[in-house]
């Protein structure tokens, strides 16, 4: 194990960079259905911003963002959003993930597909972010690297 030291420059650089990575991740998620990117890439970007803070700032700082026990419920919520959308379309008489059958009032089928894919992408992004953070937390096992 290497010697630990506090570097304010590293912490300041990570604090400067992390919110912009997170905003770019949300941009990628919300533009994923008509441009390159999508739920997986956006979720990985969100996870990268939070992992950057965990590596640079240690547990004392990163606990303010997302705690260790909150990652599993976030992943469950993401998977639940995905399967709830798909199974709702199935229950309304279509196939699995058949976005035209979603019971959103006042929308024509192209808009239904548009918003259906958007809901799916948000669910996938949440699940990917939570599971990547969970992998990091379980690898670190309570030790501090900052």
Partner 1 sequence: MIWELELVICIFLALSAIVALEVKDLLVAVVMMTVFSFLMALLFVAMGAIDVGFTEAVIGAGVTGILFVVVVFQTSRKSND
CB 52 → partner 1: shortest distance, Å? 8
Residue from the set 29, 47, 112, 124 that interacts with partner 1 by CB under 8 A: 47
Does 136 sit near partner 1 (CB under 8 A)?
yes
Q: Which of 98, 119, 120 is nearest to 109 (CA)?
A: 98
3-class SS of residue 84: helix
Task: Please tell me the count of residues contacting partner 1 according to CB under 8 A.
Answer: 22
CB 88 → partner 1: shortest distance, Å? 27
Distance, CA of 35 to chain centre: 18
Residue from the set 14, 18, 39, 41 that interacts with partner 1 by CB under 8 A: 41
Does 140 sit near partner 1 (CB under 8 A)?
yes
Q: How many whole angstroms separate alpha carbon 108 and alpha carbon 13?
A: 47
Handedness of CA 135, 137, 39, 115 (dihedral sign): positive
Please say whether the beta carbons of 30 and 41 come within 8 A: no
Does 16 sit near partner 1 (CB under 8 A)?
no
Tell me which residues touch partner 1 (CB under 8 A): 1-2, 28, 36-38, 40-41, 44-45, 47-48, 51-52, 55, 132, 135-136, 139-140, 143, 145
């Amino acid at each position: 194990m290497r010697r630990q030291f506090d570097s304010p420059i590293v912490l300041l650089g990570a604090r400067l960079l992390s919110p912009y990575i997170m905003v770019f991740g949300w941009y990628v998620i919300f533009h994923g259905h008509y441009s390159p990117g999508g739920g997986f890439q956006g979720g990985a970007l969100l996870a990268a911003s939070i992992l950057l803070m965990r590596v640079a700032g240690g547990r004392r700082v990163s606990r303010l963002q997302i705690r260790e026990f909150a990652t599993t419920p976030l992943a469950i919520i993401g998977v639940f959003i995905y399967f709830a959308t798909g199974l709702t379309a199935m229950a309304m008489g279509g196939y699995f993930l058949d976005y035209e059958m979603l019971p959103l009032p006042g929308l024509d089928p192209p808009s239904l597909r548009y918003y259906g894919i958007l809901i799916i992408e948000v669910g996938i992004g949440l699940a990917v972010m939570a599971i990547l953070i969970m992998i990091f937390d379980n690898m670190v096992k309570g030790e501090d690297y900052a």
